[in-house]
Amino acid sequence: MREVGFAVGRTSTKWITVRLEDEVLLNDLVKVGDKLLGVVRSVSYANPTMSPYSPFTPTNIESVRAYEYLNANIELYGTVEGGKFDPRVLTAIPTGTPVYLIEEGDLEGLSFIENPIFIGEHPTSKWPLPLDPRAIDYHLAVVGSTGSGKSHLVRLLVKELVRVGRKVVIFDHTGADYAPYFRDHVIPDSNVFPDLLSLAEVLANKVLGKEYLDDIEVALYAYLFSNGEYETARMFMESLGFGNRDPDMGPILELMRISPKDVKWDDKSFASILRMVMGYLKRKEHTIAKSLFRLVRSGISMKSFNGREYDIEKLVDHIIDSELTVLDISSETLPIRYGIMRGVISGIMERAESKGKRMDITIVVDEAQVYARGQPPTESLSDVARRGRKWGIGLILASQRWVSDLDMNIRANINSVLFSSLQSSSDIDDIGKVVNIGNIDVGVLGTGDFYITGLLSPFRRPILIHTFGDLDE
Ligand SMILES: Nc1ncnc2c1ncn2[C@@H]1O[C@H](COP(=O)(O)OP(=O)(O)OP(=O)(O)O)[C@@H](O)[C@H]1O
Ligand SMILES: [Mg+2]
């Protein structure tokens, strides 16, 4: 620690002005007197003889330099007492109080939180910032323009959360951001049987047209019940009350016990059953013919769904029993990814509620713009944002923009935001609506520089970190 100046002017419990005798930089940490901790938010030169309103016009610049002084504005973070940090300042300090620059090693040994996690260090003091993993239950967003280092930061977070015993499930949208880093924990979407509704949506959107969603969904259920056997499928349809038969609830109830991953999917049998179902639904003959023709021409093969190890149910079991699961959702079509995400997230919530116990699971969604606003999984993500805390289910969402990428209901329930340089300048004001951002300067942030704001910040006020370059640091 080294003395750099003293407090001047009017001091408060939030801000002080410091007359500098030595240089400090933006975001430097300082100690004020022997108790208060703060951060440099701005630095400015002043010279009374150079005031725009001064009648005195200096002719020789050198002669008035002597009147020049340097002020720094310090935002106070809190109080250090008895080796502990408390994020409150209860009384102002007198003017003249000395101010010291915090240097490497100065904050070591100071206790902030129990069992902290670490993802980076404060740039000038090199102090590894201790973070409270419990803040993740209150949800977290990582925002920054492309290449700012979001995915890297989330990988560091994941490693640390796993280290302190928190379970993590990652939805890897690209298959390149997480799967290669956590190889032993990857489940590819091609090994997951999607829920039948999502599958029906894919077939309807890609092949027949949205108006045939019902036909396809019913055909899938008839196939599931009959294992592709035509006469059994017919019996299933009749038990639903088609073909002038009295409805019988038996087959429907039995359907709940069959997992689609245990059924043998065959294109020819599916086409015949779809044809039968469309007949029962009173589709015109030429519509049926056109549909079958399109199905065959689409190139979508039901066979590709054979031999998948997981259905949604089994996947949720696996996630709950594993320290880390990376779902590589980069190969399936979007509706199937949506279905997997929606099913897994609501499955985890349902398990927590039915068992009535905390899950201690963190759900990570990178490239959140694809999922977290106006898309099928958005509702289940909002539900976790709203009610997940009670069950120890936290969200980490990463995307380039704040307002346009994340649903309003999700944003309103996020309590920590980590942000780097922003793509949209209005985002910073909007982030200020959910966490305290004070008057920080985001102009000069490079790759790996992030402000930590909200609950995750040990100070409850923004602090700049540079993320560790190496995942194993
Ligand atoms: N602290 C760091 N030190 C060194 N390299 C870093 C650091 N943080 C990120 N990088 C590197 O910067 C590059 C971009 O990082 P990353 O992929 O995490 O960005 P991103 O914000 O996720 O971008 P996008 O929005 O395009 O997904 C990567 O090569 C990454 O390894
Ligand atoms: Mg990324």
Residue 337 and residue 330: Cα distance in Å, rounded? 8
Task: Confirm or reject: Cβ of 159 under 6 Å from ligand 1.
Answer: no
Residue 265 has pLDDT above 90, yes or no: yes
Quote the ligand 1 centre to 151 CA distance (angstroms).
Answer: 6
What's the mean pLDDT in 342-371?
A: 95
Q: Is the pLDDT assigned to residue 110 strictly greater than 90?
A: no
Beta bridge partners of 30: 38, 101
| Per-residue pLDDT at 245 exceeds 90 | no
In short, whether 173's Cβ falls inside 6 Å of ligand 1 is no
Mean local confidence (pLDDT), 187-198: 91
Q: How far apart are CA 222 and CA 89, in angstroms?
A: 67
Q: What is the pLDDT of residue 456?
A: 96
> Do residues 367 and 174 lie in contact, with contact meaning Cβ atoms separated by under 8 Å?
yes
Q: What is the mean pLDDT of the chain?
A: 92
Ligand nearest to the CA of 400: 1
The CB of 119 under 6 Å from ligand 1? The reply is no
- Judged against a pLDDT cut of 90, whether residue 199 lies above it is answered with no
Give the pTM: 0.90
How does residue 472 score in pLDDT terms, banded at 50, 70 and 90? confident
Neighbouring CB atoms inside 10 A of 241's CB total 12
Domain 133-191+309-467 sits in CATH at 3.40.50.300
The answer to whether the beta carbons of residues 9 and 17 sit under 8 Å apart is yes
Tell me the CB-side half-sphere exposure of residue 441, using CA atoms within 13 A: 12
User: What are the pLDDT digits (tens) for 326-349?
Assistant: 999 999 888 889 989 999 999 999
CA neighbor of 414 nearest in space, from 438, 389, 379: 389
Per-residue model confidence (pLDDT) at position 315: 97
CB 270 within 8 A of CB 196: no
Bridge-based pairing state of the strands 361-365 and 393-399: parallel
Find the distance separating the first CA and the last CA of the chain, reported in whole Å: 26
Q: For residue 207, what is the DSSP state?
A: I
Tens digit of pLDDT for each residue in 432-441? Answer: 988 988 878 7
With a CB cutoff of 8 Å and minimum separation 6, the contacts of 267 are: 301, 302, 303
Dihedral of the CA atoms 342, 301, 367, 311 (nearest 10)?
Answer: 40
How far apart, in whole angstroms, are the C-alpha atoms of residue 351 and residue 456?
27
pLDDT surpasses 90 at 227? yes
Q: Which segments of 427-472 are extended strands (E)?
A: 449-454, 463-467
Pocket test for ligand 1, best of 145, 447, 467 (most atoms within 8 A of CB): 447
- Compute the distance between CA of residue 426 and CA of residue 424 in angstroms, rounded to an integer: 6
How many Å apart are CA 400 and CA 419, to the nearest integer? 9
Neighbours of ion ligand 2 (CB under 5 A): 150-151
Q: What pLDDT is recorded for position 104?
A: 92
Indicate whether residue 446 lines ligand 1 (CB < 6 A).
no
pLDDT tens digits, one per residue of 7-43: 999 889 999 999 999 999 999 999 999 999 999 999 9
In this model, does residue 295 exceed pLDDT 90? no
CA torsion sign for 457, 461, 467, 473 is negative
Predicted confidence (pLDDT) per residue in 69-91, tens digit: 999 999 999 999 888 899 999 99
Q: What is the pLDDT of residues 410-454, one digit of tens each?
A: 999 999 999 998 888 888 889 998 898 887 877 778 999 999 999
User: Whole-angstrom Cα distance, residue 15 to residue 11?
Assistant: 7
Q: What is the distance between the alpha carbons of residues 270 and 199, in angstroms, rounded to a whole number?
A: 13
- Where exactly are the structural domains of the chain? 2-111, 133-191+309-467, 196-305
Residue 103 contacts residue 1 (beta carbons within 8 Å): yes
Q: Whose CA is nearest to atom 23 of ligand 1?
A: 147
Ligand having the closest approach to the CA of 172 = 2
Q: What is the pLDDT of residue 56?
A: 73
Residue 227 tokens read as: 């294992």
Output the furthest CA–CA distance in the chain (Å, rounded). Answer: 106
> 177 C-alpha to center of ligand 1: Å?
10
Taking the CA of residue 140 as centre, how many other CA atoms within 13 Å lie in the half-sphere pointing to its CB?
29
